Structure 1
Amino acid sequence: MRRIVVAALLWMGLATPAFAAPLKIGYSAWPGWFPWKVAEAKGLFKKNGVEVQMVWFEGYADSITALVAGKLDANCQTLNDTIAPAAAGAKLKVVLTNDNSAGNDQIIVKKEIASIKDLKGKKLGAELGTVDHYLLLLGLQKEGLTQKDIQFTPIETGAAAAAFAAGRLDGVGVFAPFTTKALSTGKGKVLFSSKEFPGAISDHLVLREEVVKARPGEIEKIVKTWFDTLDYIKKNPEESLQIMAKQAGTSVAEYKSYDSGTRIFNLEQNLVTFAPETKDPINLRYQSKIIADFLVKSGLAKTKPDTAVLFEDKFVRALKP
């Protein structure tokens, strides 16, 4: 009888088997995801009764590949980097909005390059098919250019920043904290950034669909931990900054410089992002259609997925007061 009751509770997501493995969450270098390190360091997952293994990736694209391959239960990634694999058949669910990029994704170029139109014929690098490749293409499109008008080099983000600093590229698409490396020689400048494209780059906790179906109770606790972590950071700013800067490999002062370029989202803002479609730039249903169209048009995706099925808002709604 007890087994039948437990099975029923598990089916409803109200109980978790004692033998369940920790949920593996991938994350990489981005200011909007470093708060997860605070959650891990201060035991906030365990405080909420959920076992989590945070898995660090030096290369952002590797974390996306690991999620799609089933080596992770969840990953921290952008909306456009979720739509692209979904277009290829991956079954994924966005359950949380960590932030919107508001300047920390940057196209950095040599100082003599005065405008986007001046990029024609220049050597530019970015991580193929990911967030700053997308940003680069958005900027080019704005001025009537395409990737065919530049010499594009696909290169991992950290390596891209180093290549630009070494003078091997005319420009590069990178995100914080790699922006610091790219600008370290004083020979570069920011030509444009995600600040010019509000809502275009949003960052999320994304899970494999099968995990969402199998372990909803744990996922709700993880989502709650995100908001508990933001509260902890607000109450303990100096300690939290030390933890996040260490994970980022930067000084606290450098880390503070990223604040204005990343708009961290609280519960109320999450509810807005998951709301029925409006033309608000942070609305995910609206923005996802724009991204899907762009990815197909630019050749980054072969087919346009049904983006409506990507969003699972029940976990943030469950936390609404």
Structure 2
Amino acid sequence: MTSRFRPRVMAAILCALTLAGVTALAGCGSSDASRGSKITLGFSAWPGWFPWQVAQEKGLFAKNGVDVELKYFESYTDSINALSSGAIDANSQTLNDTLSSVSGGAKLSVVLVNDNSTGNDKIIARDGITSVADLKGKKVAVEQGAVDHFLLLLALQEAHLTEKDIQLVPLVTDAAAAAFVAGQVDAVAVFAPFTSKALERPGSRPIATSAEFPGAIPDHLVTSAALTKDRPKDVQALVNTWFDTVKWIKENRAAAVEVMAKRGGVTTNDYNTYDAGTTIFTRQQNLDAFTPGVTPAHLDFQSNKIIDFLVGTGLAKARPSTDGLFEDKFVKAVPQ
């Protein structure tokens, strides 16, 4: 399984190939609205996105009058590229990856905040390392250019260190967790469910988590800009379905956890340990996030921080424009 946060360097390549080889497309990242009324919605391994499985199994898409083909991607990377190339209509993805795709030319709309990571992204260290400051000179595995790399840089900065003070070992997330358990590195930055794997190493412990950096890792429902423009009623139905699903989960917790744990390939006990580390957003929290502001809780502020990261690490050659990226009208129209 590839990482939820693998860098999107292939998105721009796929975009260029699509434009060169399929001249009928109006632009890379646009949805083919002529292919029928069904909407293909992608998602992958992250606790904040597994509620879509509940929505499908409990008939909540149909209840809201939208025909959805829910497509699960074992590779999160493939889901990002599928949305960027127009192969699917909507996807569940992080703000980092959305901005990276936009920098590569994709035309996208963020229409919903599913959640914020509030602890399910962790920096886990071996026995004898008790703080981020102790990482100086140590080997740290992380998926380079990914959100957990971003988390690592934030934690190092707080400890008055830089990336140059550690030995960075670039590995995709599942391989990074395995390398840590095998004793090949001193610490690792990973997300759930790979946190559970990393903590199998005797004596290991989290020394920093996303809970310490509120708003740094938001996760979203992202659609093609064409879908938002041409089929707003269907996008509204998707957003309405999300909030109906959150309500259903709250009222039927045990049944919902069984569905989500099965989709994630973990036990219900393991899944329950992820609960506090993923904060599912209410409608009001969505409205607050979409509102312009000057704290990490606001998407415009956080997007600028992430763009600094993307440009600074070379994942984006220039600062992508966020004009029109954040579409809050659908959350505003959700029945209360």
**Contact 1:108 1:182 (8 Å CA) reproduced:** yes
1:261-288: CA deviations, max 9, x gaps?
111111121111112x123432111221
Deviation at 1:49, TM superposition (A): 1.3
**Contact 2:127 2:202 (8 Å CA) reproduced:** no
Equivalence for 2:145: 129
Which of 312, 317, 320 pairs up with 2:332?
Answer: 317
**1:251-290 → structure 2 map (5 Å cutoff):** 251-275=267-291, 277-290=292-305
Equivalence for 1:187: 203
Gaps of 5+ in 1: 1-16
Task: Please report the TM-score for the alignment, with normalisation by the length of structure 2.
Answer: 0.84
Residues 256 and 272 from structure 1, CA distance in 2 versus in 1: closer, same or farther, beyond 3 angstroms? same
Q: Note if 1:109 corresponds to 2:125.
A: yes
**The 10-residue stretch of structure 1 (226-235 or 55-64) with the greater mean CA deviation from structure 2:** 55-64
RMSD: 1.9
**Contact 1:123 1:151 (8 Å CA) reproduced:** yes
How far, CA to CA, are the matches of 2:167 and 2:76 in structure 1? 23
Residues 128 and 298 from structure 1, CA distance in 2 versus in 1: closer, same or farther, beyond 3 angstroms? closer
Q: Give secondary structure in 2 for the equivalent of 1:75.
A: strand
**Contact 1:84 1:300 (8 Å CA) reproduced:** yes
> Sequence identity of aligned pairs in percent?
53
Residues 220 and 258 from structure 1, CA distance in 2 versus in 1: closer, same or farther, beyond 3 angstroms? same
Equivalence for 1:176: 192
Residues 51 and 63 from structure 1, CA distance in 2 versus in 1: closer, same or farther, beyond 3 angstroms? same
How far, CA to CA, are the matches of 2:103 and 2:221 in structure 1? 18
**Contact 1:285 1:308 (8 Å CA) reproduced:** no
Residues 18 and 294 from structure 1, CA distance in 2 versus in 1: closer, same or farther, beyond 3 angstroms? closer
Q: Note if 1:300 corresponds to 2:315.
A: yes
> Aligned AA for 1:115?
S
How far, CA to CA, are the matches of 2:315 and 2:203 in structure 1? 31
> Aligned AA for 1:292?
I
> Aligned AA for 1:182?
A
**Contact 1:194 1:201 (8 Å CA) reproduced:** yes
> Aligned AA for 2:322?
T
Q: Give secondary structure in 2 for the equivalent of 1:310.
A: coil
Gaps of 5+ in 2: 1-32
**The 10-residue stretch of structure 1 (219-228 or 147-156) with the greater mean CA deviation from structure 2:** 147-156
> Aligned AA for 1:229?
T
Deviation at 1:18, TM superposition (A): 10
How far, CA to CA, are the matches of 2:92 and 2:232 in structure 1? 18
How far, CA to CA, are the matches of 2:74 and 2:165 in structure 1? 31
**Contact 2:145 2:310 (8 Å CA) reproduced:** no
Equivalence for 1:249: 265
Equivalence for 1:5: none
1:23-81: CA deviations, max 9, x gaps?
22221111111111100111111111111122222232332222222222111111122
Q: Give secondary structure in 2 for the equivalent of 1:286.
A: helix
* Superposition misfits of 4+ residues, deviation over 4 angstroms: none
**1:44-193 → structure 2 map (5 Å cutoff):** 44-193=60-209
Which of 236, 255, 264 pairs up with 2:252?
Answer: 236
Q: How many residues align?
A: 304
Residues 159 and 71 from structure 1, CA distance in 2 versus in 1: closer, same or farther, beyond 3 angstroms? farther
Task: Please report the TM-score for the alignment, with normalisation by the length of structure 1.
Answer: 0.88
**1:26-45 → structure 2 map (5 Å cutoff):** 26-45=42-61
Deviation at 1:200, TM superposition (A): 0.6
Deviation at 1:301, TM superposition (A): 2.4
Residues 19 and 55 from structure 1, CA distance in 2 versus in 1: closer, same or farther, beyond 3 angstroms? closer
> Aligned AA for 1:216?
P
**Contact 2:141 2:187 (8 Å CA) reproduced:** yes
> Aligned AA for 1:310?
L
Equivalence for 1:24: 40
Q: Give secondary structure in 2 for the equivalent of 1:282.
A: coil
**Contact 1:289 1:307 (8 Å CA) reproduced:** no
